[in-house]
Amino acid sequence: MTAAACRQAPAGIDYRISRVSAEFRDATVELAFREAAHPRRVRDTRWSVGIAALFYLLFTVVDYFNIGDGEAYQVLFLTRLTVAGFGLLAAFTARRFWRAMMDGVTPSLVAGLALTGFLSSTFLRDYEPGWHAMTFCVMLMAIYVFIPNRFLASLSLALVGSLVFLWLLSQHFHFSAGNLFGLGLMLLAVNIIGALTAHRLSRQEREGYRDAQVLRLANERLQGEVERRERLEGELRDLLDQDDLTGIANRRRFLTQAERELEVAQRRGEVSALLRIEIDFYQQLVDTYGQSECETLVRALADVCRQGACSDDLVARLGREEFAVLLARRDARQCDLFADDLVRAARAAPARLSGGTIHFTVSVGMARVHAGEPFAALMRRSEAALRVARQRGRDCWASD
């Protein structure tokens, strides 16, 4: 495992790969790798075992031309047919029994049976020693590289098969010590090359899996961090756009959003209105009860505005005791009813102070939206209507 991968690997997960087995040292990680890799390994095993079984069976033709149709050939034919049949059966059932395949059981049985068939029929084929050696080297490379298997399982099969093969050749052909030593060196070289190749392939598979997992976990952490930052930014925007005392929109948000919604309403031809609301005689109430006590009145008025408004309406606190409501998609009659209900609801809303419960009233100025009118002009007309409501004695609403 590279130093960079070690630094990025999450705590508690050991992605180190054994130098001996070329597998993950952590059994849990190794099992997870096998489960993740099994679809591709099933496909590779089907192709490799199927092709190997086919070629193994096709060599019955070579046997026929070399030894004829005798008892020895019949034994060879049945041996090859059995090995090829078992290989094809393993290839067809690889998907169903993939765990046995990933654990090395199925490929080891197939390779072991092929080796046994080959070695047991050595005396039946009166070939030159070089032909036997060449054929066996091909089988060794198939065991190491062509048929997917666990590294130690492949190494064990190849080494045991090599020793048995050398012993059989020495018994059958009565090799001299020099020839036997040369053949042994050739098989040793093939085993070393095959073992190093199989070991590297096994490591590369697991390194690829490890890097993919580390990258996936890093992406998940990054995505989580991005989502957390977006959530915090959203909360920060809400705080910047929210009135601390009442929890509704503040003046900054109202001026930005109301102008945008007004443009949309004017394009659609929807009639709506802007209401400016303030608590009557608020300064006298502050002088009497104190600023902190009168904040209860402000919160009570915010509740009244929220309860009467729809989800599409924009409710905001513009100043100390001043509120605004931008009504959406309402006709003139509905706007008048909203203003009238708001005045009556505020009059009936109790404000519980530390010294007892008091009631308050509000003055409301309403300006209906005119087609093509700028937002600033609508604000001025609503202020003018609010002054009219004050002049009428307060606890009422007035329209421009």
DSSP per position, 250-293? -HHHHHHHHHHHHHHHHHHT---EEEEEEETTHHHHHHHH-HHH
In terms of domains, do 7 and 113 share one? Answer: yes
- Helices 151-173, 177-241: axis angle to 10 degrees equals 170
At which of 178, 196, 219 does a domain end? 219
User: For the ranges 163-177, 209-223, 295-309, 336-350, which has the lowest average pLDDT?
Assistant: 163-177
Position 235 pLDDT exceeds 50: yes
Is the Cβ–Cβ distance between 266 and 250 less than 8 Å? no
Q: Is residue 233 part of a domain?
A: no
Mean pLDDT for 1-24 is 71
Q: Is residue 78 part of a domain?
A: yes
Q: Is residue 383 part of a domain?
A: yes
In terms of domains, do 257 and 203 share one? Answer: no
Closest CA relative to residue 142, chosen from 196, 194, 200: 194
In terms of domains, do 376 and 280 share one? Answer: yes
Q: Is residue 227 part of a domain?
A: no
Position 2 pLDDT exceeds 60: no
In terms of domains, do 309 and 374 share one? Answer: yes
In terms of domains, do 47 and 183 share one? Answer: yes
Domain that holds residue 292: 251-399
In terms of domains, do 346 and 280 share one? Answer: yes
In terms of domains, do 123 and 19 share one? Answer: yes
Residue whose token pair is 């606890």: 395
In terms of domains, do 171 and 67 share one? Answer: yes
> In the 3-class helix/strand/coil scheme, how is 204-225 assigned residue by residue?
HHHHHHHHHHHHHHHHHHHHHH
For the stretch 180-228, pLDDT in tens is 888 899 999 999 999 999 999 999 999 999 999 999 988 999 999 998 9
- CATH number of the CATH domain containing 341: 3.30.70.270
**Helix H segments across the chain?**
3-8, 27-67, 71-92, 98-102, 105-120, 129-141, 151-173, 177-241, 251-268, 282-289, 291-308, 332-348, 375-391
Question: What domain count does the chain have?
Answer: 2
- The pLDDT mean for the chain works out to 87
Q: Is residue 160 part of a domain?
A: yes
Closest CA relative to residue 137, chosen from 199, 87, 186, 204: 186
